[in-house]
Amino acid sequence: MKSPIRVAVTGAAGQIGYSLLFRIASGAMFGPDQPVILQLIEAPIEKALKALEGVAMELDDCAFPLLHGIVQTSDPAIGFKDANWCLLIGAKPRGPGMERADLLKDNGRIFTAQGKIIDEVAAADARVAVVGNPANTNCMIAASHAKRLPADRFTAMVRLDQNRAQSQLAKKAGVPLAAVQNIFIYGNHSPTMFPAFAQATIGGKPAPAVIPDLAWLQGSFCETVGKRGAAIIAARGASSAASAANALVDHVRSLVTPGAIHSVAVKSNGAYGFDANVWAGVPVRTTTPGSYEILTGHAMDDFAKSKLAATNKELTDERALVAELLG
Ligand code: NAX
């Protein structure tokens, strides 16, 4: 049996947390032979901490053999202590009438503090995955406050968008999901993201050859993927949770599986014309567990270039709005 790894999860009593923790503890994220210690972090609010107690009780009641311990805390210094993976889900939601700039700043303050404390107390091999929105910019802020951990340890999740795009293409083509490959998400986790359909393959053929409907690919496909979160809120009365948790399982599982090729928001370093200092969705290949290289060889046509420019502009605008919070 391997020795357990420590997995810190913020927002652990929230709706994504409730769909996520049981899958981590069952082995879906790190594999069936990897024990875990869950370090659950909640906001210092009585109701949230009480809910967290209930979640921990349910985790106990699952009797997962791989779950070697549960920490419950509202103190990030305890929650992130020696963590090998830090899954940052907790964030302030956008309230009625709240400006996006205020949301960026309020969350920026949370991720400033978390970036600092993770850098101080997490394990030397710590990896960070950000889900809390605005995920790309929150991730950039947290990374900017880390002096010990390099920037490439900080990733943000665009895997839900990739999964959504894969599913839409499979439905349209009338093929099983696994027939759709190489569909990658570029840019921000927001409606400006670009699901690069021209690079995707369906049954080994270019997607536009199998779906010869450019108007659909450029229009309704991109729009459905980009606005899927809002469509789910409209239908369900609550934001995507189970699919977001599932995507985080996929995000981390792919990052610990050498050879996996998948979409992750990482420090762009100028890839695909993104501003070098923003965190943008790009295709990566996992090299060794937890490490990756950006795949830079994909050609972009004029339509793709215009989409990339738009999502890059949104990321640089967000960066400008939080400039005072960057370390
Ligand atoms: P919930 O409101 O159900 O849960 C959030 C939890 O975080 C709450 O229990 C809250 O007490 C806790 N929290 C708040 N601030 C905290 C802090 N500083 N430290 C620790 N815990 C804190 O939201 P949920 O539906 O779980 O969504 C969480 C975040 O994921 C939101 O920001 C949401 O926008 C984002 N999403 C990101 C997605 C992505 O693909 N990147 C998709 C799904 C989701 O919308």
Quickly list DSSP for 205-236: EEHHHHS--HHHIIIIIHHHHHTHHHHHHHHH
Contact in structure between 313 and 297 (CB atoms under 8 Å): no
- Atom of ligand 1 lying closest to residue 17 CA: 26
169 CA from centroid of ligand 1 (Å): 28
Q: Decide: 89 in ligand 1 pocket, CB within 6 A.
A: yes
Q: Which two tokens stand for residue 290?
A: 């937890």
What the chain holds in terms of domains, given with CATH numbers, is 5-156 (3.40.50.720), 159-323 (3.90.110.10)
List the pLDDT tens digit at each of the 327 positions of the chain: 799 999 999 999 999 999 999 999 999 999 999 999 999 999 999 999 999 999 999 999 999 999 999 999 999 999 999 999 999 999 988 777 777 788 899 999 999 999 999 999 999 999 999 999 999 999 999 999 999 999 999 999 999 999 999 999 999 999 999 999 999 999 999 999 999 999 999 999 999 999 999 999 999 999 999 999 989 999 999 989 999 999 999 999 999 999 999 999 999 999 999 999 999 999 999 999 999 999 999 999 999 999 999 999 999 999 999 999 999
- Residue burial 2-37, b: 16+ Cβ < 10 Å; e: rest: eebbbbbbbbbbbbbbbbbbbbbbbbbbbeeeebbb
> 16 CA to middle of ligand 1, Å?
7
Q: What are phi and psi of 187, to 5 degrees?
A: 100, -140
Q: Is 187 in the pocket of ligand 1 (CB under 6 A)?
A: no
